[in-house]
Amino acid sequence: MTTKAKAINSLMPSAEFAIREGVIEWINPTIAPLTEEQIDTEISRLQAEYDAKEYQRKRAKAYPSIADQLDTIYHGGLDAWKASIQAIKEEYPK
């Protein structure tokens, strides 16, 4: 879940703010604060970006450890390793 804080930091990395009970308090008054609409739009964009990379997170969990991959190469050869990795890529396509 993308939060307001992540969205604000994405839009204004140097912004100083606090969020208390859902209310944003801007610490530096010389910087124009973001609107709720800008923040909500950025939350949606960041969430869509996160959701689009779900396959990457699933693949990362499914890949064997480097030690196990090297063991597969040693005992089964490079083609066996490629086949095991390809099976995971096919299970979790882009």
Task: Identify whether residues 40 and 73 lie together within a single domain.
Answer: no
Task: Identify whether residues 69 and 80 lie together within a single domain.
Answer: yes
Give the Cα separation of 40 and 51 in Å (integer).
16
CA 62, 47, 93: angle at the middle one, nearest 5? 35
User: How many structural domains is the chain composed of?
Assistant: 2
Task: Identify whether residues 16 and 46 lie together within a single domain.
Answer: yes
Task: Identify whether residues 61 and 43 lie together within a single domain.
Answer: no
Task: Identify whether residues 11 and 48 lie together within a single domain.
Answer: yes
Domain boundaries, position 47: 4-52
Band the pLDDT of 1: cuts 50, 70, 90: confident
User: For residue 78, what pLDDT is reported?
Assistant: 97
| pTM, rounded to two decimals | 0.72
Task: Identify whether residues 23 and 40 lie together within a single domain.
Answer: yes
Average confidence score pLDDT of the chain: 94
Task: Identify whether residues 58 and 77 lie together within a single domain.
Answer: yes
